[in-house]
Amino acid sequence: MSKILVSFFSASGVTRGVSQKVANITGGDLFEIEPVNKYTSEDLNWNNANSRSSVEMNNPASRPEVKNKVSNLSDYDTILIGFPVWWDLAPRIVNTFIEENNLENKKIFCFATSGGSSVNNSFNTLKNTYSNLNFVSAKRFSSNVSENDVTSWVI
């Protein structure tokens, strides 16, 4: 049986809650992709072109600093990456996480939380950006994700 790491970035807490459910269902270990500088509600105001999230998402080279590292990444063969959808993409801090960790030879599944946006563009962009990695599939989950939804997707 594979060992699973459920890594996630959550700015508002929704993705955190879904990630905890996913970890419980899969038996995976939980790792929060936590920014050094937490996002405030002002930072997350997508209507403000000068907000931190807007500035980061408008700069493809932006790589917000991650607070902690996965110390035992070699123990895992399956990595789940959860994130909210921002501007139809994964937040730039997800790129930081991917680039700071050796995910080669690992199966990577992405899951997203969103009020209505699909995960497809986020997933395809990550898959194309990191074409050397094994991105398997992606799924959008609501906050009330069911055990069946998770197990039929990952396990």
The CA distances from residue 30 to 16, 55, 63, 67, in Å, are 10, 29, 22, 15
For 20-49, the pLDDT digits (tens) are 999 999 999 999 999 999 999 999 998 999
How far apart CA 122 and CA 109 sit, in angstroms, is 12
Beta strands in 17-76 (DSSP E): 29-32
How far apart CA 19 and CA 7 sit, in angstroms, is 8
- For residue 146, pLDDT over 70 is answered with yes
- For residue 3, pLDDT over 80 is answered with yes
pLDDT at site 36: 97
For 103-138, the pLDDT digits (tens) are 999 999 999 998 788 999 999 999 999 999 999 999
* Element containing residue 24 per DSSP (H, E): helix 14-26
Whether this model's pTM surpasses 0.85: yes
SS3 category, 74: helix
Q: What is the DSSP letter of 25?
A: H
Residues 56, 92 contacting (CB under 8 angstroms): yes
Q: Which domains does the chain have, with CATH numbers?
A: 4-154 (3.40.50.360)
Work out the percent of the chain whose per-residue pLDDT is above 70: 99
For 48-79, the pLDDT digits (tens) are 999 999 999 999 999 999 999 998 999 999 99
48-50-55-58 Cα dihedral, nearest 10 degrees: 60
- For residue 155, pLDDT over 70 is answered with no
